[in-house]
Structure 1
Amino acid sequence: MLRTDFSDDAAWHAACAASSAPSPEGFAAGLSFVSELRFAGLTIEEVVVMASSPRRNFVFVVDGVTIRDSEAPILAIDLRREPGRWFRVVPARMWSVEVNLSLANMDFSDFADNVDSDGVFRGFS
């Protein structure tokens, strides 16, 4: 999970804790947290260029929206099939997105196509 907004350290730490917390069933996202000032203010396009590698299919970003919004929706960006396609995910559902994408149980589009009207994935209906 890449930090691009450095305006609120407490909000960053809260997003990290909430997104890595296990589900009631015990599933947890396998996340690494990157907080380096050199990534401040990166756009989606810049993240795609910077994060693209043969080993990465997606990346999560804590940006200004995450920091300011009460739900702290984290930006998920596709790096492989449709580079730059994105949606947001509430921290409580991060485990579902990360685990299923990492295991290739589901595609990025399975989540991106099931967001609420505001572009945020809160789970499958």
Structure 2
Amino acid sequence: MPDITGRDEYAALIVRTAYDDEQSWLALLDELGRPRGDGGESEALVHVVDDPVWAGAAPADVLAAARRDEDLAVVFLADATALRSAPHALLALDVGYEDEVLDPEYYRELIESPPAREFRTVPAAVHDVHANLQLANVGFDEFAKEAAAHPDRVLRSF
């Protein structure tokens, strides 16, 4: 898969992997582009990868490319589920690196109850998830637990 480059560090990375519903894709883009904040005072910053070479790409393929960006904490997939779902729930993937040496006790805890590596989120929450993970204000697992607490397992706000 090609590199994902040219992203502003403040922009959430969205990779389109489904190409069978153009109308839903345009609706999702509209939602992602809406100003955010209480009064809509903040511009929505997104970097969209809309290249058919990614059609049908598995999350692992996208993660492999996204991990080349050392400053990236999360990548969002606009997959078939996102395009078909009423809230256009994007798949958020944890880009965290796993190649660091871990304390054996911590490693055992990870094996017994591994942290969540993905969850679904509505477009309106993408910016908050991205910003908080980039700043390390909130851990990926906390967002995943919040999403899991909803009946449809989709994060709407935090």
Tell me which interval the TM-score lies in, with the shorter structure as reference length. Answer: 0.7 to 0.9
Q: Which residue number in structure 1 is paired with residue 112 of structure 2?
A: none
Q: Distance in 2 between matches of 1:81 and 1:3?
A: 22
Q: Which residue number in structure 2 is paired with residue 69 of structure 1?
A: 85
Unaligned stretches of 5+ residues in structure 1:
none
Please state how far the C-alpha of 1:114 moved relative to its aligned partner: 0.6
Q: Which residue number in structure 2 is paired with residue 3 of structure 1?
A: 16
For 1:28-67, list aligned pairs within 5 A.
28-53=43-68, 54-67=70-83
Unaligned stretches of 5+ residues in structure 2:
1-13, 99-114
Is residue 97 of structure 1 aligned with residue 129 of structure 2? yes
Q: Distance in 2 between matches of 1:84 and 1:38?
A: 28
Equivalent position SS for 1:98: helix
Is residue 106 of structure 1 aligned with residue 106 of structure 2? no
Structure 1 residues 104, 85: closer, same or farther in 2, change over 3 A?
Answer: same
What letter matches 2:49 in structure 1? V
Please state how far the C-alpha of 1:31 moved relative to its aligned partner: 1.1
Please state how far the C-alpha of 1:8 moved relative to its aligned partner: 1.4
Identity of aligned residues (%): 32
Cα RMSD after superposing both structures: 2.1
Equivalent position SS for 1:32: strand
Equivalent position to 2:151, from 105, 117, 124: 117
Which piece of structure 1 moves more, 108-117 or 15-24?
Answer: 15-24
Q: Distance in 2 between matches of 1:122 and 1:28?
A: 19
CA contact (8 A) 2:17 2:79 kept: yes
TM-score between both structures, scaled by the size of structure 2: 0.70
TM-score between both structures, scaled by the size of structure 1: 0.86
What letter matches 2:86 in structure 1? S
